[in-house]
Structure 1
């Protein structure tokens, strides 16, 4: 019974191996980048914030344009009047209507406000640049996240190919063992060992394929897309020359997004001080107005009813100076100076952190690249050993256990090489992000 189950599992895996992964859909790196830039939620939110910052830095939000307003009004009253004059009969007037119409057009412009408006405008420009850096930071983090999953898909896909080849060899070994057993060239134990190894290989292959599907779904989640068909990814990995990496590291302080952000914040804090100081200065405003008024009055005991219409222009200049505001301006200036000092401290801290992170990332990248090179050589060695073992096994010079060990050694070497390759590439991308060059390279 146990032997039948093993054979059934082997045949099932053989059928799965025969069905090649559909290769009509290739998601290469450039396509993945385009998708994540256009569909990722975090990037979309950061771009919306950038649009708001762009609106804020415009001339319409600067305070440099004049204001123009208009107003209209209408008043109506209905009254009864009793006029009593000495020596005369009282005069009783009922339903006396009074109407009043008015309209005005007012223009105001601030000529001088202590330069607060100027520095606020410059501050808004810096805030826009800061928002642009935040968008860049979000894009960089998203690309690192995407490529981490993308290369994980590539790694598992290559492992599946290795296990498929292993499965073919194991199936061939089962057939060979059965033939040899039928002709009395080996024992039943050799057949059972081959079947057990093939069953283990089939289980590993099934698990790897399931892991591949799960990781594909993780990638689709980051890209915010759905594929109706299975897809494969680009497994080709190219590394940047170390000399060019060294040049990137030399200019890291000029390009690192965290350093650039803190420099923008430092400039904004400097403008905050100047904006606060504008409260010490007077404000000069120009104003102009056009007005129209019409009053319709009822007759009185002594005067007939009348209608008066007034219209005309008026203009002027005003100067206002808050000589003492209870110390509020002084407090704002002091707080702005403290905020500037805080940004200076943060700038020094971030520079030290970036320098440390780059050193760690560079050493990590070199170690992982070296490990990858060693693993490549290890694969060559194990491949030669396996080929020789296969020849010796076919002529009966080594046992099936020795052949299986050579096969396992080759599998481990190949999967370790795949892991080392993609680990080194992710380490390189993380280093490029720290040096500010992640968006300036060809993937």
Structure 2
């Protein structure tokens, strides 16, 4: 039974290895980011919001252009008429028709509205800039999520290679133990122990490969790629930003952090809201003009003959409207706008304080993970040396298979811990870059 399970696992590993041996697509970080910018649904919706804001801040939505309307109409009357004079015979008329037609073009323009239109136009410009910052925040969050998944694929890819090396060593041990048993140099227990280790290593490799496949599907969802059986590889190269450059980013963080920049735009918008409300104290001056044409045809009566009348001409006027007292509505609007502006100032102070804390925490986390990475590199070197020495001693029969297995497991743990430390440090760096507002400006 044990040999059957071992054979099945080995065949499965061999088949998966053969599939991996085929030429596969290498998806670089730059390509993954480009795909996300082009296809990610969240980014697409954010870009659509920017387009809406761009339309809103245009001249066609400013209120500065006049309105032009055309009107036309027609009328028809059909009446019976009975005329009874004081003297003489009454006159009865049936089917009297009369017609009327009219057409006009009217133009209206607000010459002055207390500067409300001017400040509203300025506010729409700020709202457009705010929408771009909101889109940038969406892109930053998506990129951080994307790169986190990307580096998880890289970590699992390297773990698979580590586990393949471990499995290969365990298979060699089975072969060596079988030879020793066949030639009477050891008992069957050594062979069984070696096969158990092969089975365990095979299961670990299969599970890690399954995690890798699942994580690749997660990446496909983020970049809207078809989830097919086509495999791909990722770039496992990791580089870190120089310390001096990172310190410069931290010094300029409050000027570049996207959350603080959004609050600056909100402050500008609420400041314009105050000015828009104050415009209610000033009068409004409107201009209007029109060109009209009218035609009327009336039927003859007992005393007057029928007639046709055509008129056309232009007219214009100016009007001034001034709410001398509006029941206090304008005053309340100004007070509320000032309170809203004050709340925005308080919110900015609160967020700025929180961001300074988050940057300090992220920097400490990043430095700790870099230290752990250096320790794990030394640990791998130590365990690699210990494993090689143990392998020599095991081949010479000076240590037991249990001792050799322990050295093998120690090296496995050290190498996988190094992979984890490397990518944890990189993700910590990305989180710090996002807080400093530089995530979209550096080469990853």
Q: Post-superposition shift, 1:356? A: 0.7
**Aligned pairs for 1:213-252 within 5 A:** 213-226=213-226, 227-252=228-253
Deviation, 1:14, is 4.7
2:203 corresponds to 1:210: no
1:167 counterpart residue number: 167
Shift of 1:285: 1.2
CA–CA distance in structure 1, aligned partners of residues 236 and 66 of structure 2: 61
Residue 388 of structure 1, CA deviation: 1.1
Corresponding residue for residue 31 of structure 1: 31
Trace 1:124-163 onto structure 2 (pairs within 5 A): 124-163=124-163
CA 1:108–1:180 in structure 2 vs 1: closer, same or farther (change >3 Å)? same
2:336 corresponds to 1:335: yes
> Post-superposition, which runs of at least 4 consecutive aligned residues in structure 1 deviate over 6 A?
none
Q: Is contact 1:283–1:320 with CA below 8 Å preserved after alignment?
A: yes
Spell out the pairing of 1:75-86 with structure 2 (5 A cutoff).
Answer: 75-86=75-86
TM-score between both structures, scaled by the size of structure 1? 0.98
Structure-2-length-normalised TM-score: 0.98
Query: What is the SS of the residue equivalent to 2:65?
Result: coil
Asked if the contact 1:159–1:208 (Cα under 8 Å) also holds between the matched residues in 2, the reply is: yes
Give distance in 2, aligned partners of 1:308 and 1:5: 108
State the number of aligned residues.
Answer: 443
1:343-362, aligned counterparts within 5 Å?
Answer: 343-362=344-363
Answer whether contact 1:110 1:283 (CA < 8 A) is retained: yes
Contact (CA 8 Å) 1:14, 1:168: kept in 2 or not?
no
> Displacement of 1:17 after TM fit?
4.1
Give how far 1:7 is off.
4.7
Could you tell me which runs of 5 or more consecutive residues in structure 1 were left unpaired when the two chains were aligned: none
> 1:20 Cα shift?
3.5
CA distances 1:254-275 after superposition (whole Å, capped 9, x unpaired): 0000000001001000000111
Q: Distance in 2 between matches of 1:50 and 1:12?
A: 51
What is the DSSP-based 3-state SS (H/G/I as helix, E as strand, rest coil) of the residue aligned with 2:195? helix
Shift of 1:229: 1.6
Displacement of 1:366 in angstroms is 0.6
What is the CA-CA distance between 1:4 and the residue it aligns to? 4.3
Deviation at 1:2? 3.2
Look up the match of 1:313.
Answer: 314
Where does residue 394 of structure 2 map in the other structure?
393
Structure 2: which 5+ runs fail to align? none
RMSD of aligned Cα (Å): 1.2
1:409 is matched with which residue? 410
Change (3 A) 1:297 1:367: same
- Report the equivalent of 1:256: 257
Deviates more, 1:256-265 or 1:80-89: 80-89
- Counterpart position of 1:43: 43
Looking at structure 2, the residues matched to 274 and 404 of structure 1 have their Cα atoms a distance apart, in angstroms, of 77
Inter-partner Cα distance in structure 2 for 1:14 and 1:103 = 87
